[in-house]
Structure 1
């Protein structure tokens, strides 16, 4: 039809001025994002507890790797997703090598990855 107008995506109009930067996307947090965040925080706390239980049963090199990985395993958005993922994979690898002792840790890692949408 003549005269119909369709627009998809961003529309930016700037009329003079200085220091104009960025686009305000007006992103809103979904209602269940808070619940997901709470679930993620709980899953991270559980993983830390399970790692504390496992730590003393590991060879020193594996225990050190767990210690080095823990700072990146947080629900904090300031941690880079690739750093968090790398740390979770290192923890999962150690948990896998110790068999049934590490199964709860491996389950906790998988739960976190699922909450993050990485699985």
Structure 2
């Protein structure tokens, strides 16, 4: 097997000492944008729930929901911090509207668990 290379998982190569940044993310057996099928399904359900919640919140909150949705697309390559920020913004809105926002809050908890934190 001399000369054969097999790569599983992340691979980082650094050459030189300046301007090094980035990582090659290699994910095997996952759904859209390298995500698990469970996460893709949970994000789709969250989008549906946000659509229902949007009609029941003030205009400013509805605008924030709309602005947060692109970071929660299963197809988007979104940095983890941006996705977390969007989830927390939506969770805040869900918490302020009480019982009406409870399904959204529960969906966010599930997604946060799938994301590992």
The two structures have a TM-score, normalised by structure 2, of 0.70
Give the distance between the partners of 1:116 and 1:77, measured in 2 at CA.
15
SS at match of 1:79: coil
Alpha-carbon offset, residue 95 of structure 1: 0.2
In the alignment, structure 1 residue 53 sits paired with structure 2 residue 52: yes
Judging changes above 3 Å, is the alpha-carbon distance between structure 1 residues 37 and 59 closer, same or farther for their aligned structure 2 residues? same
Which residue of structure 1 aligns with residue 65 of structure 2? 66
Query: 1:74–1:84: 8 Å Cα contact kept in structure 2?
Result: no
Instruction: Compute the displacement of 1:46 (Å).
Output: 0.3
Call closer, same or farther: CA 1:38–1:68 in 2, change over 3 Å.
Answer: same
Equivalenced residues, count: 92
> 1:78: Cα distance to partner?
1.3
Higher relative contact order (CA 8 A, sep 6+): 1
TM-score by length of 1: 0.69
RMSD after superposition: 2.2
Q: Report if aligned partners of 2:72, 2:86 keep a CA contact under 8 Å in 1.
A: yes
> 1:43-82 CA distances to partner (integer Å, 9 max, x unpaired)?
0000000000111110000000000000001234611100
The residue aligned with 2:94 is 95
